[in-house]
């Protein structure tokens, strides 16, 4: 059985229109303009997800505030990009955490006193120098 989440297309156009507080013809128009593009069934009917419903409500809100349809399209496009990037960051963080857990004895790198790269074993600390350097300007 398929898991349901916010992106699962489950609403026909009439149900989606009712949830979004719009007329079904408005949803068709927004689909043609590319503002909210629902998935299609094998019979080519539209199926909307909860995420689509939220976007339709956002379109309505922005439109009532005087934002043009092109402005709304651009805002939604940028929001979708941000969401995709957030998801990718989560994936990379998970992959990094898994990699770190699966590599016992991994190596750690630090900067040496002269700027060189120093390799350390996991769990060891860098020895810090307690030398004092005095700077004196050259006499002319």
pLDDT of amino acid 104 = 64
In angstroms, rounded to a whole number, what is the distance separating the alpha carbons of residues 37 and 9?
Answer: 11
Domain ranges across the chain: 13-101
pLDDT of amino acid 55 = 93
* 3-class SS of residue 98: helix
pLDDT of amino acid 7 = 86
In angstroms, rounded to a whole number, what is the distance separating the alpha carbons of residues 17 and 80?
Answer: 21
Closest CA to 58 of 83, 33, 38, 79: 79
Average pLDDT, consecutive stretches of 10 residues, N- to C-terminus, the chain (140 residues): 82 95 95 91 92 94 94 93 94 86 68 75 66 73
Q: What share of the chain is helix, strand, coil (3-state, %, to 5)?
A: 45, 10, 40
Q: What angle do CA 11, 17, 20 make, to 5 degrees?
A: 100
pLDDT of amino acid 133 = 67
- Given the candidates 1.20.1630.10, 3.20.20.70, 1.10.1660.10, 2.40.160.20, the CATH classification of the domain at 13-101 is 1.10.1660.10
pLDDT of amino acid 13 = 95
User: Is pTM, for the whole model, over 0.75?
Assistant: no
């Amino acid at each position: 059985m398929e898991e349901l989440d916010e992106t699962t297309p489950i609403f026909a156009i009439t149900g989606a229109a009712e949830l979004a507080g719009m007329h079904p013809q408005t949803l068709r128009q927004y689909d043609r303009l590319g503002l909210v593009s629902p998935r299609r069934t094998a019979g080519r009917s539209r199926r909307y997800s909860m995420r689509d419903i939220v976007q339709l409500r956002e379109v309505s809100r922005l439109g009532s505030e005087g934002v043009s349809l092109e402005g709304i399209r651009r805002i939604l496009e940028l929001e979708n990009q941000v969401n995709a990037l957030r998801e990718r960051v989560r994936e990379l963080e998970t992959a990094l955490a898994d990699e770190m857990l699966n590599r016992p004895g991994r190596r750690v790198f630090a900067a040496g006193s002269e700027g060189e790269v120093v390799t350390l074993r996991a769990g060891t600390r860098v020895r810090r120098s307690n030398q004092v350097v005095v700077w004196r300007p050259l006499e002319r």
